[in-house]
Amino acid sequence: MFLWFLSWFAFVIQLGFGVLCVAAGLYYLAELVEEYTVIAKKIITLIVWVVAVIHICIWLLEEIPLIVVGTGFLANVVYGLLLKDFPFITLSSGRFLSAVGMLLLSHYLVFQYFTTVYHPFSEILAYFTICLWLVPFTYFVSLSANENVLPTTIPTKHHNERDAVADALSSKTSRRYGVLSIFNFIMRKVGKSVPARTKTT
């Protein structure tokens, strides 16, 4: 009986270590995307194309309805449109809102299909991981990349008002999105509750 309780305690410890490892990996990926935005764009483009080909293969080789696979394929096309301005992603833009809408719609249709038709759990997890989550996850990791990229073009609506570089340098507050903003928020909260060490000379 004691070993049963000990096994659950060990499971909680292992889960905590697993969460810390995933968090460290996400933070590292976000830093890499911020540092190498051109390479990140090429990798995301490749992932979008691979997932699109996988959707076509699923439609040809499996018996999943066309409405489910087609919606996933169209969602992938909308994700690809976000690459036009990468790494600058505006959360209020039509492209981004369309991508979120297609993501929700494809999730709804896939949930509806897999709750009515039996498939092994490994196949369901594979479909969700590769066809639904992979591309949005890469965008989520790269949302904070647009903060550290200097503007090279002037948007047309601000062309007559100010220089783009001056706008970037004079902005007092910057909004952070994505993984790095979450980690920075947690670090600020933890920093307030944990006493700081003072060096003695």
Q: Mean pLDDT of residues grouped by 10 in the chain (201 residues)?
A: 83 90 82 80 90 92 90 90 78 84 92 91 90 86 62 49 48 50 65 59 55
Regarding pTM above 0.85, the answer is no
DSSP 65-94: -HHHHHHHHHHHHHHHHGGGGTT---TTSH
Q: Are 147 and 68 in contact (CB under 8 A)?
A: no
pLDDT value of residue 38: 82
Q: How many CB atoms lie within 10 A of CB 16?
A: 10
Q: Give, rounded to a whole angstrom, the gap between the first and last alpha carbons of the chain.
A: 53
Tell me the C-alpha distance between 54 and 131, whole Å.
8
3-class state of residue 123 by DSSP: helix
Yes or no: say if 88 and 149 are a contact pair by the CB < 8 Å rule: yes
Q: What is the distance between the alpha carbons of residues 121 and 128, in angstroms, rounded to a whole number?
A: 11
Question: Six-digit token pair at 23?
Answer: 């968090």
Buried (b) or exposed (e) across 26-38, using 16+ Cβ within 10 A? bbebbbbbbeebe
Backbone dihedral angles phi then psi of residue 27, each to the nearest 5 degrees: -60, -45
